[in-house]
């Protein structure tokens, strides 16, 4: 047998192992994947996905096919980190677990994260798991860790918001082409929801303020990412791309300023799905639809380096 053949076989043996996971939940099980390195895992990570109908690979039918979470899991597994990622409720293999929108709140995201923490620890045999939250998943990570749960090693927050959702929505509404009466109605509805009260909004604003989504919004609007970051006492890394069109460096700085020991990483020329992309909106969004593009240089290395750093 040639040296080349032996080398090729060694690569096959050393390849990470992928295992399908099923977690008991109501009204139906949740499904995910464990990508384990060859040999004992040096650490375990759970990827918490962003908003919308996002699957375990980081894709959704609304125009995202970047496979960001799959690529991140593969990169971390190559560094010795076991990674669990999952299909959200109502998505892909977890479709049967779709919630009733009127009954779903942000706390349900946290409850699901805790189910997956239990599953990750049971599968890896490790004492704690790193929460790697992307976009809205960063807020889920912060909310899940707010009691300093000892099962959580630390947090890696990627492209997360640093301001309360109400501030972000007001900013978006200010730039929306709304007539004055609808702008006033939107502000009134938002203020009522922030106060914890359901409200009525004009039909033209139903996409944002329909009655069935208001319980979720009330629970979401109450969360302050920076305050949650300040209250958590474990290791925390905040990372942000400079060409992200959805969250900004100001968001990352707000999270990092919450505690003096937070590690802030800024990736130059990196967009929201962690790919190299220019600031031009059309070219930037094109990277959302290209699964062949690798993650930007530094992303896997920085995340793995933080998780595996001696402490």
pLDDT tens digits in sequence order for the chain, 311 residues long: 554 443 343 344 457 899 999 999 999 999 999 999 988 999 999 999 999 999 999 999 999 999 999 999 999 999 999 999 999 999 999 999 999 999 999 999 999 999 999 999 999 999 999 999 999 999 999 999 988 899 999 999 999 999 999 998 998 888 888 899 999 999 999 999 999 999 999 999 999 999 999 999 999 999 999 999 999 999 999 999 999 999 999 999 999 999 999 999 999 999 999 999 999 999 999 999 999 999 999 999 999 999 999 98
Residues sharing a CB contact under 8 Å with residue 10, sequence separation 6 or more, in sequence order: none
Distances (CA, A) of 310 to 43, 233, 307: 12, 17, 9
CA dihedral sign of residues 233, 133, 126, 115:
positive
Q: What is the pTM of this model?
A: 0.92
Burial of 69 (0-12, 13-18, 19+ CB in 10 A): buried
């Amino acid at each position: 047998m040639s040296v080349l053949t032996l080398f090729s076989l060694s690569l096959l043996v050393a390849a990470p192992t992928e295992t399908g996971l099923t977690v008991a939940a109501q009204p139906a099980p949740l499904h995910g994947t464990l990508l384990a390195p060859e040999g004992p895992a040096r650490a375990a990570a759970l990827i918490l996905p962003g908003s919308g109908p996002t699957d375990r690979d980081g894709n959704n039918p609304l125009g995202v096919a970047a496979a960001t979470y799959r690529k991140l899991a593969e990169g971390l597994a190559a560094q010795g980190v076991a990674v669990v990622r999952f299909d959200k409720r109502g998505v892909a293999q977890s479709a049967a677990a779709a919630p009733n929108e009127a009954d779903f709140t942000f706390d349900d995201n946290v409850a699901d994260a805790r189910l997956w923490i239990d599953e990750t620890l049971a599968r890896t045999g490790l004492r704690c798991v790193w929460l790697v939250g992307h976009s809205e998943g960063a807020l889920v990570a912060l909310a899940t860790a707010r009691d300093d749960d000892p099962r959580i090693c630390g947090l890696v927050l990627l492209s997360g918001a640093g301001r309360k959702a109400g501030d972000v929505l007001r900013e978006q509404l200010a730039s929306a082409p709304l007539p004055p009466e609808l702008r006033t109605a939107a502000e009134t509805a938002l203020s009522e929801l922030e106060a914890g009260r359901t409200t009525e909004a004009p039909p033209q604003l139903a996409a944002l303020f329909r009655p069935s989504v208001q319980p979720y919004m009330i629970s979401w609007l109450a969360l302050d990412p920076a305050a949650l970051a300040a209250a958590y006492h474990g290791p925390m890394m905040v990372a942000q791309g400079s060409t992200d069109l959805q969250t900004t460096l100001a968001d990352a700085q707000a999270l990092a300023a919450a505690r003096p020991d937070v590690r802030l990483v800024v990736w130059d020329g990196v967009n929201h799905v962690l790919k190299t992309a220019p600031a031009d909106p059309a070219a930037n969004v094109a990277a959302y639809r290209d699964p062949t593009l690798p993650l930007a240089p530094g992303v896997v290395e920085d995340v793995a380096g933080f998780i595996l750093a001696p402490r």
